[in-house]
Each structure stands twice: as C-alpha cells, then as structure tokens.
Amino acid sequence: MRHRHRHPRGVRSRRQTRPGHWHVRARVERFVEPSLLLLLRERPLHGYELIERLPEVAGEGRVDVGNLYRLLRALEAEGLVSSEWSAELPGPAKRTYELTDEGRRLLDRWAEALRQAQADVQGFLDRYDQDERR
C-alpha cells in the first residue's frame, strides 16, 4: 500500500473540541473483544456480519472496521476463535469465525470482570447522587 505524507491532522486538544466543550465518553476498555466473543457464542458469523450486529451488544459508534478485522485475526492467533473461508456462500469471499472452547472460557472471564466494573461504576454513581445538592 502506498502512502504520501499528509498534513498534520486537525488539531483538537486531548479532549477539548471547542472551548468549554469536552468530549465525554465513558466506555469500557476493549469492549469489542467480549462483544465479538458473545456474538460468536450464539453462532458462527463472518466479519461483516459481526460489524452489523456489534451495535446490538457494544452500543452505538464503537467499531472501526479496520481494527475489527485485525482484532479477529489476533483472536484467532491466540486460539480464541477459529476461521475458514466460506466458499459456499454467495458474494465476495467471507471468512467465517467460530468460538473455540478457549474463547468461551475467556468470554466467561470477561463477563465476570464486567460485573465487577458495573459494581465500581455503581459505587461512583451512588456517591455522585448522594450529594447532588452541592
């Protein structure tokens, strides 16, 4: 792939878009990973299907397509999913992914970790609500 030099990208500071307006997004780190595993637990899917369905579990505006395919291959390299080209299906070549036992175990651990995160955030929100009068 060829690339030419580009001009410096739009300079918005770390999280400020325009003065006095910050971009606040509270997201769970690497949430797409467990989301993919969860979708694949239900049935094997190929990448493009995963992209379409991801918002159902991971919320809106989460996925960068390029990173998603990269992640899928990383998961495969780690033995969490397996894949094969599906020649039978019509249309362009699709790689269909399936969850492995290892992947299933990791999903379970993610679920556990996510419950913990829920608890932490709940603690925050309780404390926030407690003194909202201030």
Please report, as ranges, the residues that interact with its own copies according to CB under 8 A: 14, 16, 20, 22, 24-29, 31, 34-35, 38, 41-42, 56-59, 74, 78, 102, 106-107, 109-118, 120-125, 127-128, 131, 134
Q: Is 19 in the site for DNA (CB under 7 A)?
A: no
Near DNA in 66-105, by CB under 7 A: 66-67, 69-70, 72-73, 89-96
Q: Which helix (H) or strand (E) holds 72?
A: helix 65-77
Distance of alpha carbon 15 from alpha carbon 65, whole angstroms: 23
Tell me 14's DSSP state.
S
CA 105, CA 3: separation in Å to the nearest integer?
41
Per partner kind, with CB cut-offs from 5 to 8 A, the member of its own copies, DNA, none near residue 40 is none
The length of the chain, given as a count of residues: 134
* Smallest separation (angstroms) from DNA to the CB of 3: 4
CA angle (83 as vertex; 92, 31 as ends), nearest 5:
100
Q: Give residue 61's identity as a one-letter amino acid code.
A: G
| Interface pattern 42-61 for DNA (x via CB under 7 A) | ----xxxx------------
Pick one of its own copies, DNA, none as the site partner of residue 78 (Cβ within 5 to 8 A by kind).
its own copies
